[in-house]
Amino acid sequence: MRVASDLAKCQGYGNCVAIDERHFDLDDDGLVVVREEHVTQEERDTADEAIRSCPVAAIWLEDVR
Amino acid sequence: MTIDQSLPSQRVSDLIDITAGEISREIFVDEAIHKQELENLFPRAWLFVGHASQVPNPGDYFSSWMGSDPVLLTRDDRGEIYVLLNSCRHRGMKVCRYDEGNTMQFTCPYHAWSYSIDGSLVDVPGDLHGVPHLKSAYQGQLEKAKWGLVRCPRVHNYKGLVFATWDEQAPDFLDYVGDFHWWLDNLADAFDGTEGGTEVFHGVLKWRIKSNWKFVSENFLGDTYHGASTHASVEAVGIGPGGKGKRRHGERQNQGGFSKGRMKTSFRLGHGASDNLDYELPYPEFAEPELTEYFEHAWNKRAEKLRAEGRPLGGRGPATMFPNMSFAAGFPRSILVAHPISPTETEVWRWFLVDKDAPDFVREWLRQYYMRYGGPAGMTEQDDMENWDYATNASRGVVARRYPYNYQQGLDREQPSELDRAVHSDHAIAGEVNARAFYRRWAEYVDNLSQQELTERAQVDERIDRIKERQAKSAAELEGQA
């Protein structure tokens, strides 16, 4: 799986970063930056929690094609 | 009686003379008293918020009101019920503007502060979960735990009926209700006596009337006196289960042998009912035989269950739980909350209950009966609203306000009761003992007696002592004659 994001939706809550620093960060405008796209099986639970914590659903997981 | 009219600094108890049976009209129209009610009564009493069946699944919510405050009844991911103030902690915006729905978060439309009811993401459901630009707006320093939605500290789920109070010092719900709980049981239990076997049927009817909220509470509290005049046209049409020529609630007490005699029941705690537990009124005879058969079966099953428990079968209301939750536990089976808007405006909400396992033909029959009976378009409700509106309008005048209302029915004619701190009326139709007790309790709250004082005052019901004195006196008189 890999992480995807939509900057038009992001409002810089930063919840994702607080939960999963490996995959998410904030840029200078305070909006989400995907640091690492790839999510391993071991990292899946943490990434899911970060995604669930986003109030505006600006991040999600998708299959690697 | 002379009622002191020098408002607003006086105590409202000065406007209530229950010994003489006179109550000032001011309590139904005055702005200052209305404000005192909002401040001193509604945040300190137990109020009906909604039914658990309205929020069956995690993330379900139902928007309600507690006095002057909008609240959300929610269910979290662990199945727990919460009551949250529906107002953002940042600028007070109503965080949820829908009547009901499902979501794990409430994101404020104004600045997008977001609150979660997912217990796996926040410490307690309702906590502040995120604010936009936490990093730049608050340097990441905002103490989220301090800025969650205000949580109602006391919530009690009574067989699906959800009550709440803002006051940490308020008595436990069961102490607040006392023996009046038998009426709540009959409301919450299924027609066949299955405990808590009811659910809300098809949403909630909501409408506004130009009248004080207490008119509504008092009407259901035990005013059976208005039925014959107010609801004459409804009876003429025959909107009840039996159709034309039968009563609107399906009563058949005049058909003989069913009733042990009806009396009203009045509690020192302010609650009241139009009937008593020994008044055993079987379910109606319907125009449709399959409905008669269904309800006869339910009645027999309930009778068997309750008799085995040593419980009488009566106690169907109409009734009012102090201060503003009214209901009837029979035909119709419905809850009615009178939300105070202003001294002369009230928003009335009606919930209708149905047995969880009721078959479709019963649901459909009840749906039609409930619609023609209650709500803004219901015929019985329209009769009542007409009275309350016109009574309010004709009571607010300068001269009208000089003259108190009369509450003298059955003064010093109360009858003893088996129930704790309760008395009965001596007549099924006449008798304003319930209203007198209601307004006394009302004044104790509105005059802002402490919770401890409120509890202490209600420890004794001096009406019972007066009944005993009266009985002793008449016994002595009889002896004197002999």
Average pLDDT over residues B464-479: 92
ipTM: 0.90
**Count of CB contacts below 8 A, A vs B?**
40
What's the pLDDT tens digit per position in B96-140? 999 999 999 999 999 999 999 988 888 899 999 999 999 899 998
Provide DSSP, A1-65: -EEEE-TTT-----HHHHH-TTTEEE-TTS-EEES--B--TTTHHHHHHHHHT-TT--EEEE---
> Mind telling me how many Å the CA of B118 is from chain A's nearest CA?
9
C-alpha A28/C-alpha A33 separation (Å) is: 10
The CATH homologous superfamily of the domain defined by B50-156: Rieske [2Fe-2S] iron-sulphur domain (2.102.10.10)
What's the pLDDT tens digit per position in B211-226? 999 999 999 999 888 8
| Residue spans per domain, chain A | 2-62
Contact with chain B for residue A38, Cβ under 8 A = no
CATH of domain B176-456: 3.90.380.10
Q: Does residue B258 have a pLDDT over 50?
A: no
Short-list B273, B246, B256, CA closest to B417: B273
Please list the alpha-helical segments (H only) found in B343-400: 360-373, 379-393
Torsion of CA B12, B18, B22, B23, to 10 degrees: 30
The larger pLDDT score, comparing residue B343 to residue B259, is at B343
Torsion of CA B304, B308, B310, B311, to 10 degrees: -40
| Residue spans per domain, chain B | 50-156, 176-456
C-alpha A2/C-alpha B7 separation (Å) is: 70
Taking contacts as CB-CB distances below 8 angstroms, the residues of chain B near A53 are: 121, 129-130
Mean pLDDT of chain B: 92
Instruction: Give the chain B residue whose CA is nearest to the CA of A55.
Output: B114
Q: What confidence category does residue B257 fall into, taking pLDDT thresholds of 50, 70 and 90? A: very low
CATH 3.30.70.20 fits A2-62, yes or no: yes
Q: Which amino acid is at B28?
A: F
Q: Which amino acid is at B458?
A: A
Is the Cβ–Cβ distance between B326 and B339 less than 8 Å?
no
Q: What confidence category does residue B2 fall into, taking pLDDT thresholds of 50, 70 and 90? A: low
B302-328 core/surface letters (b: 16 or more CB in 10 A; e: else): bbebbeeeebebbbbbbbbbbbbbbbb
| Element at B204 (helix H, strand E) | strand B198-209
Residue B169 contacts by C-beta under 8 Å, 6 or more apart in sequence? Answer: B450, B451, B452
B134 closest CB neighbour out of A14, A52, A53: A14
What's the pLDDT tens digit per position in B336-361? 999 999 999 999 999 999 999 999 99
Distance, C-alpha B15 to centroid of its chain: 24
What's the pLDDT tens digit per position in A9-43? 999 999 999 999 999 999 988 999 999 999 999 99
> Mind telling me how many Å the CA of A14 is from chain B's nearest CA?
7
Instruction: Give the chain A residue whose CA is nearest to the CA of B114.
Output: A55
* B376 prior amide bond cis, ω within 30: no
C-alpha B435/C-alpha B217 separation (Å) is: 9
CB count in 10 Å sphere of residue B261: 9
Contact with chain A for residue B109, Cβ under 8 A = no
Contact with chain A for residue B145, Cβ under 8 A = no
